[in-house]
Chain A
Amino acid sequence: MTPAKSHPDVSSRGSDTVLLVNGSLLVRTQVAEYLRSCGFRVLETRNSDEALIVLQRSSETIRVVLSGAEQGFALSRWLRAHSPQMRIVLTGTFERAAQAAAELCESGPMAKRPYDPQILIQDIKASLARAQEE
């Protein structure tokens, strides 16, 4: 039974979990889908506060934190103090986030990119452009 506002266990599945931190919903959703299509389990968070909730409250074994740079600096400090072995990849742009996702996939569960990250970048650009349309 899932209580209305409990903190259910986000159970670990070993080292195939990526904690994704990105304030842009459209970027976050598409990068997360890309990573899932190459076999990763992805925990999506919008900012460092949410990421810290996951890091502090779950028993996750997180392989890597993939974070926008703005949120990532605060997380880096926390990780250095509490989980120095955990890898964090900071991405300043969505292009860099897409490239980082592709690189993660190469060393991920399927050991390959699901498709060219340039396509992911194009998709993100198109989504962002479409979101701006009135």
Chain B
Amino acid sequence: MSQSTMTLPRPRPHGLRFPSLTRERVFAVVSPVALLVIWEILSRTGVLDPRIFSRPSAVVQLMATMLVSGQLATDTGVTLARLFVGSIVGTIPGLLIGLTIGLFRTPRAVINPLVSATYGLPRVALFPLVLLIVGLNETSNIIMIALGPFFTMLIATAAAVGNVEPIYLKVARSFKVNTRDLYLKVVLPAALPIIFSAFRVSLGLALLGVVAVEFLMTNNGLGYLIWHSWQILSLGQSMVGLVTTGVIAYLLFILLDQAERRALPWVERT
């Protein structure tokens, strides 16, 4: 961009830049590390009972053993697969139905009462019903995981589409855009930031769903590892499952942040 006498917009970052050490970035590392160090000290000095709160160093050791044995990788793989499939199975229909009822009055009139009737139910309460209909198998697992993302995407998308700034619609109408362009070039992009936020929430709910399903229904995956190990009082292993799940969640949301920045470069961020 060449200079002009007008105020220039902030240059867009390109390539890798060395991040400056802001307070937020420093404590993003320092806070959790400090917590782990305190934890380690407390259990070594006997303030915390190591039989209940396994030491961080012991958890890391156990994690290494489980990695070598392949057990942890297997459980992680199973959990990730369920998370992935469950998210897609919930998100995509939720998004499509949400768009439809956000845009068109008749589908909205038909579907809204059904959504209101079922959305209020705690989703775990639907598990027996799903099992009854589908049977106890991987399909029912996926459906139960997908329920959270499905409802979240449906409701948020419909609201996002229905609440697009009126001035955008007015501009579009004044230029007499056809219906297809109105939806694809105006309504959808205008709603996209909220849809993306809904996707973020959906992913969190899918992770919750995976762990819940693995607690209750399966004999593999990280949720099973956490719950089963706890039941046989193998607290270290339970802790390894918990830490691995935490790491997955953390990486997932970093990835999502990056994806959002790429997908919505025009959104103002603080």
Report if A and B associate in a common complex: no
